[in-house]
Amino acid sequence: MSGEDWTFWISGSFAVIGALGLVLSRKAVHSALWVAFTMINLAVLYIANGAPFLGMVQIIVYTGAVMMLFLFVLMVVGVDSSDSLIETLKGQRIAAVLFGLGLAALLVFGVGNGLVNAGTVGLVEANSADGGNVEGIARIIFTDYLIAFEATSALLITAALGAMVLAHRERWIPRASQEELSKARFLSGTHPGNLPTPGVYARHNAVDTPALLPDGSVSEESIPGPLQARGDIRAVDHHEVNEIKEVGSA
């Protein structure tokens, strides 16, 4: 076998294994990984076939960007969430098998027809026509297929725009920046730091126990708002306070 044969059989089998892994995995993240694996093997096949540019772009765009976005979404959804395997559409499996077979038949006959009847020019010739693989692709994209290329990019931009519209949330007022928040905090004239904590008085350790100021009076700031509103404030026993003072000074 020649080098090309070896590459084809190894990378081709890997690509098929990856595709099967995609379908048979239970975890969505594992499926995504199998796709990435398949993509890389397809890229190897492209490169072996004299299309290095396509191979590299395949890895950068599909493995690097698209699958990474998929992974991102899957990870946002959650580590342990698994998909429900109950069919929601009736006859979905049969339809899927039929369409799958149809697609396979189309591909086999289409590609086979191309191989048998169209006659091949050879990659070396195609690549050397414009002085190289990259130059050849550039010429084709920006001359013969310019409109298709631009239409595709317009389609992609429309899709991106749609996603932005769906995800967009109109702000009524601009979000205050860190600087503005900080300034507002100091300009308000109130104490900018932490408020005194409740529950620090002697034996009690509860949020309804007010902190005491040095003169023994209650610091009302130390009690949470809802408790204040309900009047749920633990009474301070001033005899106790005085006792503690005496113990402290003795």
Among 19, 22, 48, 140, binds another protein (CB under 8 A): 48
**Residue 77 to residue 69: CA distance in whole angstroms:** 12
**CB of residue 105 vs another protein: minimum separation in angstroms?**
30
Burial annotation 155-188 (CB, 10 A radius, 16+ → b, else e): eeeeeeeeeeeeeeeeeeeeeeeeeeeeeeeeee
Please return the burial class of 55, using the count of CB atoms within 10 Å of its CB with bins 0-12, 13-18 and 19+: buried
Residue 19 or 54: the one with the smaller Cβ distance to another protein is 54
C-alpha–C-alpha distance, residues 128 and 240, integer Å: 97
Residue number, 108 or 195, with CB nearest to another protein: 195
For another protein (CB under 8 A), the number of binding residues is 58
Residue 84 C-beta: closest distance to another protein, Å: 20
Q: Does 1 bind another protein (CB under 8 A)?
A: no
CA 130, CA 143: separation in Å to the nearest integer? 13
What totals of helices (H) and strands (E) does the chain contain, helices first? 11, 2
Quote the Cα angle for 2-59-140, to 5°: 80
Residue 187 sits in the site that holds another protein (CB under 8 A): no
Which residues inside 97-136 make contact with another protein, applying CB under 8 A? 123-124, 127, 132-134
> Quick check: 185 and 192 in contact, CB under 8 A?
yes
Shortest Cβ distance from residue 247 to another protein (Å)?
19
Residue 248 in the binding site for another protein (CB under 8 A): no
Q: Check binding of 200 to another protein (CB under 8 A).
A: no
151, two tokens: 């239409």
Residues that bind another protein (CB under 8 A): 2-4, 7, 27, 29-30, 33, 36, 40, 43, 48-50, 52-53, 56-57, 59-60, 63-65, 68-69, 71-72, 75-76, 79, 123-124, 127, 132-134, 172-173, 188, 190, 195, 210, 218, 220-221, 223-226, 228-229, 231, 233, 235-239
